[in-house]
Amino acid sequence: MNLTLHVWRQKSAGENGRFVSYDAQGIDAHMSFLEMLDVVNENLETGGEEPIAFDHDCREGICGSCSMVINGRPHGPWKETTVCQLHMRHYEDGDEIWIEPWRASGFPVIRDLVVDRSSLDRIVASGGFISARTGSAPDANAILISKANADRSMDAAECIGCGACVAACPNGSAMLYTAAKVSHLGILPQGQPERYTRVANMVQQMEKEGFGACRNYAECEAQCPKKISIQFISRMNCDYLRATLLRPIDFRGKTDSE
């Protein structure tokens, strides 16, 4: 199939960017979106032009690198799908496709479609870990965890740190990402000792990085390729309230439902 691409080109963070149009010809319907861009880049390089810079790594939907907005939607038109898992069979011959980087003040553009997402790493570095020495792997049943809590923690841990939630939010909020990282530890017994310092530090770092506040648009959940629920944001807000306005000591050892 033949397509027309309108791609955001920007040489560096300090320079203005603009859309540049390219013909993508002879694209196989079985290619992934990134393979289609590889073909376009090969043609650009053959013609002596700069290839389009874009992030990618695993190409299996697990690393969260392939961040781009396609026709106005982070990760493109298909629900629960990263760009690397989006295939060209979903497009038709003659389609026009607009491709942009994530747009958020917390994600400055580095070049073309590549943005600096180190702000997300700094949120995790501020508290998304446990500092207890864990030694070697414990026996599987040494720490009892209810099935419900294990499942909820795993649901939160599915977050791949792609940043689509931020790009989708009209406020550029990183609440869904932060809530997922706060919750996957905060729900488990191992995460309890630092539960309240963790949430306070991570939320404060999120604000320092320039991300906006949550206004319940729920666009983050709609565009998240891992279907992270906005219920985790409620949970994080509850823990943050306990950590900052109430006495966290009163809640130590209690489960989410108490």
Structure tokens that stand for 206 in this block: 């999120």
Q: Which of 5, 40, 113, 176 binds ligand SF4 (CB under 6 A)?
A: 176
64 or 212: CB nearest ligand SF4: 64
27 or 162: CB nearest ligand SF4: 162
75 or 242: CB nearest ligand FES: 75
Is residue 235 a contact residue for ligand SF4 (CB under 6 A)?
no
Minimum distance from residue 225 beta carbon to ligand FES (Å) = 8
Residues 6+ apart with CB under 8 A from 97: 3, 4, 5, 6, 70, 71, 91
SS3 of residue 217 by DSSP? coil
Half-sphere exposure of 175 toward its Cβ, with a 13 Å CA cutoff?
Answer: 27
Contact code string over 46-65 relative to ligand SF4, x by CB under 6 A = ------------------x-
Nearest 5°: CA angle at 18, between 217 and 80?
A: 35
Number of residues located near ligand FES, criterion CB under 6 A = 13
Site for ligand FES in 54-93 (CB under 6 A): 56-59, 61-66, 82-84
Contact 143, 190 (CB under 8 A): yes
Minimum distance from residue 104 beta carbon to ligand SF4 (Å) = 12
> What DSSP string runs through 136-192?
SPPPTTSS---HHHHHHHHHHHT-----HHHHH-TT-B-HHHHHHHHHHHHTSGGGS
Phi–psi pair at 86, nearest 5 degrees: -85, 130
Is residue 206 a contact residue for ligand SF4 (CB under 6 A)?
no
101 or 225: CB nearest ligand SF4: 225
Residues 6+ apart with CB under 8 A from 237: none
Minimum distance from residue 109 beta carbon to ligand SF4 (Å) = 18
Contact 83, 70 (CB under 8 A): yes
86 or 175: CB nearest ligand FES: 86
Is residue 177 a contact residue for ligand SF4 (CB under 6 A)?
yes
Which of ligand FES, ligand SF4, none has residue 106 at its interface (CB below 5 to 8 Å by kind)?
Answer: none
Q: Which residues bind ligand SF4 (CB under 6 A)?
A: 64, 159-165, 176-177, 180, 224-226, 228
Q: Can you give the binding site for ligand FES, defined by CB under 6 A?
A: 56-59, 61-66, 82-84
